[in-house]
């Protein structure tokens, strides 16, 4: 295990079709250069009952984790998309990322949505988590 972080806090963002860093998810770790299995577990809610498509993605040192291994890229729905029609929706993803160099890194999570409604990520009673496991 290279790093794990869990938190229970309310984070909200308003920008539409713009990637926003989910600041409570920031995690520092050190890698030996092997493939990294990154797991993200978030819950999102469109406030006011608004319907919205959304996605999230792991970033390493300000770069999408998949770009290190030349993974297929989609500017808007980089890691796939999900939909909330006003209720809580889980966004969970576990994926192996190759090509991340050895050394000290900072993992952040970014999310995006397609409507003007404010999106809530987590809550004080809804735990969230991220983890990084290096595979040998």
**pLDDT for position 42:** 95
pLDDT at 86 over 80: no
- Report, in this order, helix, strand and coil percent for the chain, each rounded to 5: 10, 55, 40
Structure tokens at 87: 């209720």
Global pTM value = 0.93
Secondary structure E strands in 8-69 = 11-13, 20-21, 27-31, 36-46, 52-60, 63-64
d(CA 133, CA 135): 6
* pLDDT one-digit tens code per residue, 59-78: 999 999 999 999 999 888 89
Phi first, then psi: give them for residue 49, nearest 5 degrees: 75, 15
Residue 126's pLDDT band, with cuts at 50, 70 and 90, is: confident
For residues 33 and 101, the answer to whether their CB atoms sit within 8 Å is: yes
**pLDDT for position 59:** 98
Residue 26's pLDDT band, with cuts at 50, 70 and 90, is: very high
Residue 34's pLDDT band, with cuts at 50, 70 and 90, is: very high
Task: Please tell me the class of the 3-134 domain.
Answer: mainly beta
**pLDDT for position 88:** 86
* Spans of all domains in the chain: 3-134
């Amino acid at each position: 295990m290279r790093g794990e972080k869990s938190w229970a806090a309310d984070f909200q963002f308003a920008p539409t079709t713009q990637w926003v860093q989910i600041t409570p998810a920031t995690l520092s770790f050190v890698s030996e250069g092997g493939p990294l299995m990154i797991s993200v577990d978030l819950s999102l809610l469109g406030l006011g009952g608004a319907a919205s498509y959304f996605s999230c993605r792991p970033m390493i040192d300000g770069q999408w984790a998949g770009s290190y291994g030349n993974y297929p890229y989609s500017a808007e729905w980089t890691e796939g998309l999900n939909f909330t029609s006003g209720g809580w929706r889980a966004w969970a993803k576990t994926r192996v990322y190759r090509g991340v160099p050895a050394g000290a890194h900072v993992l952040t999570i970014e999310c995006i949505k397609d409507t003007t409604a404010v999106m809530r990520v987590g809550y004080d009673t809804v735990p969230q988590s991220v983890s990084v496991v290096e595979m040998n």
